[in-house]
Structures are given as structure tokens and as C-alpha cells.
Structure 1
């Protein structure tokens, strides 16, 4: 396959396997699973995605438009804060509108068209997420209404929404539901739906999908509500990689750094923010006796655009390939063109094994983001 470098490469066969599992869960539990664009927005795959799920969730006007145009349906929309100039367009292009605060409810409720289902985001105040950057369940979080601040369910509210998990298992969701029902359970007879957000990594090996199905089915029946999940990572989990090449090898202070034609800060920001340490196709992220250690450095001018040692069986040379595993979910939607660094191309390995280049990026893409 003639894959350019750098390039995000999705494996279509693996995506379909994930979609089949997701479809099995939603049908078995009697719920609806929708795609969260914040985790996976590769719209060239949406004709395939639509065969298994019928909806998507948006967190901005741009994502709302993408849902309407490429998924072919109105979006389930939640924004941290809506703006006056965008709200009316968002509302007419949404099937569901979730508001983050009572102040936002009061400001916009009279502008929500009839037929659009209104929800409130609430905070169950429990999560298994240990990294603060990804944990919205703090009692002082700006995301969602705590039970002490919700004295009654406002008019027209038909749903409650929470999102406090990140790549979590079904047993974490079980704890969340206990906390959610203890704080907000008295409102459940008054609503039609509960959106349990994302973070349900049901496509990860070892995930107990039978437990998840029973948990969701029991909750739905017990409370007589529709249940919605909107995972991001689960759709594209382990479906593709970022292909890069070594451009230079720098040695200072007794450490060798392999400079590759990509960037952590531009193309893999979670590696610096979380921090997350990706696996490599060839190479080890833990020490192997007798192997050769190299720090991996990006091409941006940010001093911290590197990860500490990986180990390689043979010494690296200029032109060698470095493939970062599992870089399709979240990573692709977070890229930037900081420093004018070349954005990776996007391609798909089709089911028959052929490679299709979907998009290459150039100067116009960089320039048009600026003014």
C-alpha cells in the first residue's frame, strides 16, 4: 500500500466490527446509541456508520451542521453555553436540545421550537475518572446542575443528561447510576428520556457487554424512560493508526531523539495533556534489554513536543516508519496546524485490503484558518 507520511489510516473492517457490537448492545438493551462527533467525526465513513446507528450528538453549531448534512438527521445537541446569534439555527436543526444550567434554560427556553425535546445536564457527582482534565463530576464542576441547585423540574423539560465517564467499564456506570438515581431519581417519573453520555468503552477487549446490557435494560424498565448513550471512543477504538517517518536523529546529553514528521502537540495532544502514551506498531513503550532507546520528538518548535524513551529492536535510521497505534478516536478531531506543521493526510484501508486516500492537506487549509 502506498500510504503517504504522515497519515491517519482507518481500518474499515475494524470499524465495522465495532459498529456491529454497538448495534448488538443497543438492540439487546432496547436503547439508542448515537455517535458523538467530539470523539469521531470522520464523515467519509458515515454511510457505513448510518447502517448501524441512526443519530449523532453535537456540541457546537458546526457539529450540528455536520450531523444534518452527513448523517442526514437532526442532532441531539448539548452545548456548554449557547450564544444568541447561533441558537435559533441550532434549535431548528436539532431533535433534542440539552441545556447546561438553569440560567441557560431561562434564557433560551422560549426560543426552542415545538417538537424539539428539551433536556437538562445534571451532575451525579461520581466518576471513576482520575485525570481531572477529563472528569466533570466534581461538585464545583461547570458542567451540569447539581441536585442541590435543582429544586424542581422546569416546564418543557423531557430529559436528563449526564456525562461523567471516560473510557470506563459498565461497573463504573453502575456506580454512576446509583448516585444519579439517589440525587435525581424523583424526577424520573416526569421525564421521557435519560442520556447517559459517553465514556462507555464497550468495544474494548474484556468489557462486560452482558452486564452493560442488563444494567441498561433494567434501568429503562425500572424507570419507564428511553435510554440514550453517546460514546465517542467506542466507535473508533483501535480502528486505525497514525503513520509517520523519521526525519532526523538528534543526540544531546546522552539521549537520542528521533524526530518524526508529525507532532504530539499538533496531532496527538492527549499524549501531552492527559498524558497518554501510545503503543507503537514496531517498538516498545517499556524497556527491553538489548534494545535501543529513543525519545520521540515532533517537528513543532514547542520544547515539550516529545515523549520519553521508546525502545526499538534495531537502531533507527532516517526514513524509518513509526506507526502510532489507536490514533483515530479523539486524536483526529483535536489536531491543529500550530507552527504551520503539515496536517496528516487521512485514508482508509478498505475491507478488500486496498488503500484509499480520502484527504490530503496543504497550504490553503493552513491559511484559511487564519486571516
Structure 2
């Protein structure tokens, strides 16, 4: 920031350091951030803002998907009822590889699959993952750390349904908060 905007900083009242700071992560160096903010404030006489950002929901939320079909096209491809384009657009935009419970990197475990959504978008690919056992129609998969953008950036491209929202209460009880159907899809279009 100083390299590109240093000449303007003394004339500013405040600076926004953004929201990409994972201050809730155990290995995040919060002391270094505090030193950086203090130094910046003292040097330029500005207020420094940090957005809450994804740190408030880091490692929270799971997106559960079901394998709808498994096809072969140079490799095994599992078609899911979840979609990169609709439910996890950061996979396409960033790129981002969402953590998948029990899965490994391609080739790390005996069975490697490309996980794809069921839309007509050729790039609706979540990524390549490996598993201890073969995937089959009906296999449930759990993508973790999905609370950050899954709900605010989702869409119903190709009529793909939005994921239901549920809360796991202390003690393990799962409570459905909201589910979505065709009426929700139709209402979004009018």
C-alpha cells in the first residue's frame, strides 16, 4: 500500500485494510497485525479499519452434496446435486478448492474423481479429489468451511435449487431453518 499510495496517505483520514485477515485462525499472527496497524497509524496519522470479513465465519458451515451419477470421460467424473457455479462460485472465480471431509488430493487415495455440478456450464467443476472407496450414486459428501460465501453468492442458474439451511444445535440435533423450492426460483425471476 505504501509503495503504490504512499504520497496520498498523509492527506487521508482513514485507510481500510480490508476483510481478508483470518484473525480467528489459530496460526494467524495477530501480534504482527497489531504492530502493523499501530505503525501505520503513527506514521500517517490515519484511522485504520479492518472489515470483519470471512474471519467471523472461518471454518464454519458445511455444504452437503449427493452423487447423482458417475461417468467416465478420460477420468471418473461424479455429477453432484451441488454446483460450483451455483453454490460455491469462488471455486470458479478465485480459484478455490473447498475442503471435502475424508477426501485427499488427486492420486493421494485409491479412487480419484472430478466432482462436477449438473448445470450446462462446461466449467461447473468443483475440483479433483481422491477417496478411500469408490463413489456411487447416493454417496453423500461434506464440503467444509462453506459459510463464508455459499449463502450470499448462491444462484439458481439452470434451475439448480438453492441449498437448504440447517443449524446443528449443541448436543447434535439438526434443525431445518429454511428450504427452497421451485416457487423460490420463480419468485427470484419476477
Is TM more than 0.5 here? yes
The structure whose Rg is larger is 1
Please provide the CA RMSD for this pair. Answer: 2.1
Q: Deviations over 1:11-61 (max 9, x none)?
A: xxxxxxxxxxxxxxxxxxxxxxxxxxxxxxxxxxxxxxxxxxxxxxxxxxx
Any conservation in 1 of the 2:106–2:112 contact (CA below 8 Å)? no
Unpaired runs of at least 5, structure 2 = none
Task: State the number of aligned residues.
Answer: 190
Unpaired runs of at least 5, structure 1 = 1-175
Please list, as runs of the form range in 1=range in 2, the aligned pairs for 1:1-371 lying within 5 A after superposition: 176=1, 178-179=2-3, 182-188=6-12, 191=13, 193-253=14-74, 255-288=75-108, 291-371=110-190
Structure 2: distance between partners of 1:237 and 1:245: 24
Shift of residue 308, structure 1, vs aligned partner: 4.6
TM-score (norm 2): 0.88
List 4+ stretches of structure 1 deviating above 6 A: none
Any conservation in 2 of the 1:279–1:285 contact (CA below 8 Å)? no
TM-score (norm 1): 0.47
Shift of residue 262, structure 1, vs aligned partner: 0.9
Distance 1:303 1:185, change over 3 A: closer
Structure 1: distance between partners of 2:45 and 2:6: 17
Report the 3-state secondary structure (helix = DSSP H, G, I; strand = E; otherwise coil) of the residue aligned with 1:271. helix
Distance 1:317 1:196, change over 3 A: same
Report the 3-state secondary structure (helix = DSSP H, G, I; strand = E; otherwise coil) of the residue aligned with 2:7. helix
Higher helix share: 1
